[in-house]
Copies of this chain bind each other. A is one copy, B any other.
Amino acid sequence: MKIKRSERMIDMTYYLINHPHELVSLSFFAEKYDSAKSSMSEDLAIIKKRFDAQGVGDLLTIPGAAGGVKFVPKLSQADALRKVKRIATMLSESNRLLPGGYVYLSDLLGNPYILKAIGQIIASKYADEKIDAVMTIATKGVPIAQSVASYLNVPFVIVRRDSKITEGPTVSVNYVSGSSERIEKMALSKRSLRRGSRVLVVDDFMKGGGTLNGMKSLVEEFEAELVGITVFAEGKFNGERQISDYNSLLFVSDVDLKTKTITVVPGNLFNEN
């Protein structure tokens, strides 16, 4: 069906945004719009230019017979930092303070805009790596995993502390919960992850890193490969963390129950190095 360029731009933009990290051949568009591949190339060059200008991501061109274009969502470091600072301001509202110095963050992890931002930022960090699956642990990690997975266009898997009959056979590991020093158990459905998968682990909050270390062991149990660990926020921790190689979007550097102050700064994802 032949339509005008301005009209094609709408369709193609919609299509590409909904198929991130997916190779789309020129012929696909050429057939769809009954047009020459050369005009499709021109169309895509315009889209690439606008995606660049808006800081939305890259439109990669893969040459050759098996080639095409691939939309890779990617936020610039500056945009990511701007978004993270806005979230940091929200996270430091004093009414989030809970007994024991915990910080309430469930509303942020149920907000579509914030989840999109978190997903974009984490997916940008791993945009150029091969990722087969995103792993997280129930419950609050799930929205983060889902958002990251949607931008990377890969499935996500949910590790559970309780094992449910609806998961089928599971593989489980024991781990040391950092806060209580108790030995706990986490399990993942056996069929949810293939051997050799390249896995990105995400979670909402890290203190001692025990839970993340557990997921790391689980990745090993599946004979899969850990690509990275990224948390939404890390808290202050006195002592040695169980993991050292991780990224955080936010760092809750101080919680003062007396003055009711929560201090939040950008996490180590934004450290210069």
**Chain copies in the assembly?**
2
Give Cα A140–Cα B162 distance, bound, in whole angstroms.
13
How many residues in A have their beta carbons less than 8 Å from beta carbons of B? 56
A interface, over-half SS: helix
The answer to whether B168 and A112 touch across the interface, beta carbons within 8 angstroms, is no
The reply to whether A10 and B46 form a contact with Cβ atoms under 8 Å apart is yes
The stretch of A12-20, A211-219, A259-267 that contacts the partner chain: A12-20
Complex: A18 Cα to B13 Cα, angstroms: 12
Asked if B13 contacts A165 (CB within 8 A), the reply is no
Closest CB in chain B relative to A171 CB, distance in Å? 14
- Give the residue name and chain of the B residue nearest to A139 (CB): B138
Query: Are B155 and A11 in contact, CB atoms less than 8 angstroms apart?
Result: no
Chain B residue at smallest Cβ distance from A98 = B168
Give A145's nearest chain B residue, CB to CB: B110
**A112 nearest CB across to chain B (Å):** 5
Given contacts A112-B154, A139-B158, A158-B139, contact A98 B146 (CB under 8 A): no
13 residue pairs bridging A and B, Cβ less than 8 Å apart: A6-B9, A7-B9, A10-B50, A13-B14, A14-B56, A17-B17, A98-B165, A102-B165, A106-B167, A110-B155, A112-B150, A115-B146, A139-B139
